[in-house]
Structure 1
Amino acid sequence: MQRPRVFIPARFSARASALRFAALATARALAEAVYLAGGEPLSFLPWAPNGTIDETELADRLREADAVLLPGGGDLHPQWYGEAEHPTLYDVDVEQDAVDLACARHCVARGVPLLGICRGLHVLTVALGGSLVVDMAEEAHRHRKHDVTVEPASRLGQIVTRPSMWVSCFHHQCVARPGRGLRPVAWAVDGTPEAFELSGEAGWCLGIQWHPEDGTPSDQAQMAIFKAFMDAACRFATQDGRR
């Protein structure tokens, strides 16, 4: 059976050891997690000069996507959610932002399965009209592993089949105001929401603040997230007439 095609917007990289110039990058662990779960990870060029994007053109580029994965990366520019810049912001790129935000809007509008990881959750939040805490002003969630409690009746709870998980986090921002239709379904011990689902019939849509690719393939719960994502991609492709 053909693997579902998972489109992943590449990240801009100032340098890469194997190349002479600036590069486009996709985390190897992330691509491998998609592949091991049964998908075909396909990285694509973020194209939005000066932060201006043709969303019709982007929709055409995503026409063959069975699912979209919004990966981690640098911070979103606060201009997108009405906040001021902060000294701790890093790797901000409005071209990257514009593409990611348009991807999120496209997936929600069309029901394309969407998984947002770390920055990807923040993108989904802002794309749906929500906002972020620009800086959490503490290090409890940056380069840390900690427990999260999962709502058992949620989609995420049914996927991981356990009330709590040990997760890998690297973020200094978090959701301040959820976007339209997003509801929290997992929380850190300090009460920080760590995962959100989109309610209603908009399709399979999950945003998680930790990095599940850090635990795959050895952690069955983290791997289950990618496998559920691939199952949703296969269903979407079938409904869309491509299977």
Structure 2
Amino acid sequence: MTRPLIAIPARFSATTSALRYAAEVNARALVEAVYRAGGEPATIHPDPDPACVSARLSRFDGVLLPGGGDLDPRLYGASDAHEAVYDVDVTQDAFDLAVARHALGAGLPLLAVCRGLQAVNVALGGTLEQHMGSAGPGTEHRHLVHPVALLPGSVVARACGAEKVDASCYHHQRVDRLGSGLAVTARAVDGTVEAMELTSAVGWFAAVQWHPEDTAGDDPAAQGLFDALVAAAGS
């Protein structure tokens, strides 16, 4: 049986323990979750010229936009950057936005995780809150697992097979203004957007602010998101 081919844009890394120089990487747990779902994960190089995205993605059956550093705030109209903004890379940003636009426009199955969700929102004209900070209990979103209620019948709820999940979070930014055509399908107790989908999607699409790969190895609800992506890619 041929595994559906899932494109995962690489993340630039200044150092890695196994290599001498800078690297292009993806989280092992993320790759394993795709493979466990029956997909063939393929890390792809972020080309400085995003105009080639359509041709490059034509050979793939689905796309996974992973987590990573922050998007350049200028991409969503901010005049300056908060001091907490980190790891901005113009090549990474241009490529991720181009991948998001192409996948959504072409109906290519797409799962967007953490930064991936934020990239989709910006690609569709939305904005981000550059730094959430912490306003007390229930508002911290780094190194934390917290419950998230999912909208019944939503893409993410169907994929997870549940209406409530334990979300493993690591982010300091969140959606501010929602991008065109997007609908919120989950929020945290502090109002943070935790999942989105399109109101009129051409193909399968789900975006989550948390990191389902963190727990997918032993949490069927988290693994369900990767299973749904691969199933859509193989149909």
**Which residue matches 1:90?**
86
For residues 145-172 of structure 1, give each alpha carbon's deviation from its aligned partner in whole angstroms, at most 9, with x where no partner exists: 1010101121111222322111100001
**Which residue matches 1:68?**
63
Contact 2:184 2:193 in 1 (8 A): yes
Tell me, what secondary structure is at the counterpart of 1:162?
A: coil
CA distance in 2, matches of 1:54, 1:2: 29
Contact 1:152 1:163 in 2 (8 A): yes
**Which residue matches 1:46?**
46
Q: Give the C-alpha shift of residue 191 in structure 1.
A: 1.9
**Which residue matches 1:219?**
219
Uncovered stretches (5+) of structure 1, i.e. residues with no partner: 236-243
CA distance in 1, matches of 2:157, 2:57: 29
Uncovered stretches (5+) of structure 2, i.e. residues with no partner: none
Report the number of matched residues: 230
**Which residue matches 1:11?**
11
**Which residue matches 1:174?**
174
CA distance in 1, matches of 2:176, 2:163: 24
* Pair 29,153 (structure 1): closer, same or farther in 2 beyond 3 Å: same
Contact 1:152 1:161 in 2 (8 A): no
Residue 95 of structure 2 aligns to which amino acid in structure 1? V
TM-score for both structures, normalised by structure 1: 0.92
CA distance in 1, matches of 2:61, 2:18: 30
Q: Give the C-alpha shift of residue 137 in structure 1.
A: 1.9
Q: Give the C-alpha shift of residue 54 in structure 1.
A: 4.0
Contact 1:186 1:196 in 2 (8 A): yes
Tell me, what secondary structure is at the counterpart of 1:177?
A: coil
Residue 62 of structure 1 aligns to which amino acid in structure 2? L
Residue 117 of structure 2 aligns to which amino acid in structure 1? L
CA distance in 2, matches of 1:201, 1:46: 25
What stretches of structure 1 move > 6 A for 4+ residues in a row? none
Alignment of 1:92-131 (within 5 A): 92-131=88-127
Tell me, what secondary structure is at the counterpart of 2:142?
A: coil
TM-score for both structures, normalised by structure 2: 0.95
Contact 2:114 2:209 in 1 (8 A): yes
**Which residue matches 1:148?**
148
**Which residue matches 1:208?**
208
For residues 40-79 of structure 1, give each alpha carbon's deviation from its aligned partner in whole angstroms, at most 9, with x where no partner exists: 000011111xxxx342x22111111100110000000001
Name the % identity: 50
CA distance in 2, matches of 1:164, 1:78: 32
Q: Give the C-alpha shift of residue 201 in structure 1.
A: 3.6
Q: Give the C-alpha shift of residue 180 in structure 1.
A: 1.2
For residues 24-48 of structure 1, give each alpha carbon's deviation from its aligned partner in whole angstroms, at most 9, with x where no partner exists: 1111000000000100000011111
Residue 74 of structure 2 aligns to which amino acid in structure 1? Q
CA distance in 1, matches of 2:6, 2:153: 27
